[in-house]
Amino acid sequence: MQTAEVAGGADARPPFGAAPMLTPRDLIRILRFRWPVSVAVFVLCLAAAWTLLVLARPIYVSHAFVHVEYQRRSPISEQARMPDDSQRYMNTQLELLTTSAILKTVVERPEAADLELLAGASDPVAALRKACRVSSVKSTEIIRIEVSAGSPCEAAVLCRLVVEAYLDYHGRNARTTASEFARILEQAGRARDVELHEAMQKVIDFRREHGVLFLDPEKGNMLTDRLARLSEELTQAELEHMQLKNACETVEALGALGLTTPEILLSPGAALLPAAATADRNALAAAVQEAEQQYARLAARAPARHPSVVAAAAVCEAARARLAEYDARMVDALRRAAGRRLEASAARVRDLREAVEAQRRQATDHNALAVEYQMLLADLQRKTRLCEALESRLKETDVSKDVGSLNLAVLEWPEEPAEPAYPRRRVILLMGAALGVVLGAKVMLLWHFVDGRIRDRYAAEAVLNLPLLGEIPVLGRMAQGGVGGSALADLPQIAEVCRAVRAGFRAADEGGQSRVILVTSPEGSEGKSTIAAALASALAGSGSRSLLVDANHLRPALHRCFEAPQGPGLRELLDGTAPISAAIRSTSVAGLELLAFGGNAGDESLQPVPDHKLSRLLEMLSLQYDHIVVDAPPVLAAARAPDIGPACDATVLVLRAGKTSGARALRAIELLQVAGATVFGAVLNCARPGRSAAAPVRSAGACA
């Protein structure tokens, strides 16, 4: 089973170092492993907030509310009020409260002499102005006065002194007597007289320019009536013009159709001819008819060549010729008369239209002048009434009566505050808690992305793209002389790893031949020797004849797991200094034998075994055992550790949860693959058990 095949599966996850995309499962994992960091940051933020509360100097604020109403009655009547800018007046009062005219009076009061805020300041007025804040309540005539100080008593005293100084100032400078009001009335009366004189002069000038009779309402009605009559005449003329035009068009159309002259003369257009012309034509037609009748009587009694018949025919032809000539002259006369009548009608329509437009302009100008004149008259009447009202009001003014006053009412006198306004205990603690939650979450996420250590199954599969054969709980450190490898094989997690290895071998080869399993880790102290001993014990316990080989020259430890001597072992066997019967020893686990590394127990300068010799030895031993488990040195700690991989059928990489980083594990896998080793899968050691996992096993001993 190659690593490439596993990595190419449908469930392959993005490689280590890719852009992080957190899912709900990732967040739960981060919270599971990093919650102490978040709690620590939260506690620090709360501690900082509490320290701020302890070290900060409390500030007390006392406030008062003053109602300011400026009643300003109109000089004309008791009910009317003159328009004033109330917002500007309120702004003036707010600025007045913080001027030296008010604050200097407060500083000079005996009660303010012993106050800490003023006594320790080089400029008491500036210090009081900084501590005093005034504002107006929105859409009202109420002023809010606030004074801050280091003690509640001092804040209340200063606020009360400011309110009293403001009331005294207005009491000293009030000017709201009736004499002042009378002076205002006289000034307003003189101004109104000037305006009245100007309005009268405008009316006089307008009348001189445009005349009075022209602006008579009856004259205006005459203009309107004349415009109406001209409009009616224009309508009638247009109708007559349309009739004449239709008659002319009828005559022309009948002529174009080739009708006879009598038919044209009998059309409606013949009405344009005079009655005398029609009578003459009727006489000629009667003469023609009489000649024709005479010719018919003669032709009936005499032959056609008879002189009387020929004479009658000539008379008849002459009468017809005279009638035809007269009809032609009448048609021409009819056409000329129709043209003259049509031109005269068009000229009359045009003249009437010009007259109507001129009359309409005259009426419009008259209306504009009338409106302007009425506006001048209305302005004159209004100013006349205003002057009369001012004179009447001045006569009725009582010198002893106030007509305008500034009403000041203290709605709420300052009191000593029960709690400081700053710092606010609840607000500071809540802000500290909120900041702790936010910073804790950010630090937790940052730590998660910076710290690339593998902690659980999900992280191992996501980083390595390898199948996870099993998760081994915390085994603890076993003391010398403790329980051997048989106790490790009883773990259900080791049995799971054993089943995964067996299933992988069966899928790869149905022949049932011996398999050599290499157990290694990226770095030292990750529990690979313990996992190798447990895996070998589990394979032996399932009925297979197994051999456990210690090839870790950096730190051989398998002999301690099974309480066996360190030598002679693999080193002496490859050097030819010890026979195989002396190097391989039986263990307390049935079916399991151990080949220790060899050498002396105190020898710290052990050298790695030659790769070619180890390969031949493993090939020879595979004929005698069903499974061989080789404990190799860490991949990144030993320069030649990956070279042992090609001599084995499968390599199992041991990772320590919370210690092995993803980058180091990937580097170890890369080195193994470059050397030609087949990375079968990974085992996560010291994993934190989940809800369904077994409880942590605390053995009496464990390998390093």
Q: State pLDDT tens for residues 126-174.
A: 888 888 999 888 778 889 999 888 888 888 888 988 988 888 887 776 5
* Closest by CA position to 597, among listed 575, 576, 571: 571
Q: Higher pLDDT residue, 658 or 59?
A: 59
Q: Which residues pair with 371 in a beta bridge?
A: none
38 and 102 co-located in one domain: no
Around 620, how many Cα atoms within 13 Å sit in the side-chain half-sphere?
A: 9
Q: Which residues pair with 412 in a beta bridge?
A: 65
Residue 78 has a CB neighbour count (10 Å cut-off) of 9
DSSP reduced 3-state for 634: coil
Give the DSSP letter of residue 75.
Answer: S
Domain count, the chain: 4
381 and 429 co-located in one domain: no
Is residue 538 a part of any domain in this protein? yes
Would you say 518 and 645 are in contact if contact means Cβ atoms under 8 Å apart?
Answer: yes
Would you say 70 and 176 are in contact if contact means Cβ atoms under 8 Å apart?
Answer: no
Would you say 614 and 551 are in contact if contact means Cβ atoms under 8 Å apart?
Answer: yes
**Residue 4: per-residue pLDDT:** 37
Is residue 198 a part of any domain in this protein? no
- Residues sharing a CB contact under 8 Å with residue 568, sequence separation 6 or more, in sequence order: 577, 578, 582, 583, 598
Confidence band for 693, pLDDT divided at 50, 70 and 90: very low
Is residue 144 a part of any domain in this protein? yes
The per-residue pLDDT for range 145-158, each reduced to its tens digit, is: 998 888 888 888 88
Percent of the chain's residues with pLDDT above 90: 0
Q: How many angstroms separate the first and last alpha carbons of the chain? A: 28
Angstrom distance (rounded) from CA 310 to CA 275: 36
Compute the mean pLDDT over every residue in the chain, rounded to the nearest whole number.
75
357 and 290 co-located in one domain: yes
Would you say 45 and 436 are in contact if contact means Cβ atoms under 8 Å apart?
Answer: yes
Around 479, how many Cα atoms within 13 Å sit in the side-chain half-sphere?
A: 3
Give the DSSP letter of residue 109.
Answer: S
434 and 342 co-located in one domain: no
590 and 517 co-located in one domain: yes
Is residue 491 a part of any domain in this protein? yes
The per-residue pLDDT for range 3-43, each reduced to its tens digit, is: 333 333 334 444 444 445 667 766 776 676 667 778 888 88
493 and 630 co-located in one domain: yes
Angstrom distance (rounded) from CA 339 to CA 254: 16
375 and 268 co-located in one domain: yes
501 and 620 co-located in one domain: yes
Is residue 212 a part of any domain in this protein? no
DSSP reduced 3-state for 303: coil
- Residues sharing a CB contact under 8 Å with residue 534, sequence separation 6 or more, in sequence order: 472, 485, 488, 489, 491, 494
Q: Higher pLDDT residue, 117 or 270?
A: 117
Boundaries of domain holding 658: 473-685
- Give the DSSP H/E element, type plus range, for residue 283: helix 275-301
Would you say 334 and 251 are in contact if contact means Cβ atoms under 8 Å apart?
Answer: yes
Would you say 16 and 662 are in contact if contact means Cβ atoms under 8 Å apart?
Answer: yes
Angstrom distance (rounded) from CA 383 to CA 391: 12
pLDDT(245) > 70: yes
**Residue 689: per-residue pLDDT:** 59
Model pTM above 0.75: no
Is residue 265 a part of any domain in this protein? yes
pLDDT(586) > 70: yes
Which two tokens mark 489? 């094989």
Percent of the chain's residues with pLDDT above 70: 74
Is residue 209 a part of any domain in this protein? no
95 and 228 co-located in one domain: no
Angstrom distance (rounded) from CA 5 to CA 331: 118
- Residues sharing a CB contact under 8 Å with residue 577, sequence separation 6 or more, in sequence order: 568
Would you say 36 and 382 are in contact if contact means Cβ atoms under 8 Å apart?
Answer: no
φ and ψ of 135, to 5 deg: -160, 160
223 and 322 co-located in one domain: yes
Q: Which CATH number covers residue 146?
A: 3.30.70.1130
Is residue 480 a part of any domain in this protein? yes
Q: Which CATH number covers residue 665?
A: 3.40.50.300
170 and 247 co-located in one domain: no
Q: Higher pLDDT residue, 267 or 544?
A: 544
379 and 488 co-located in one domain: no
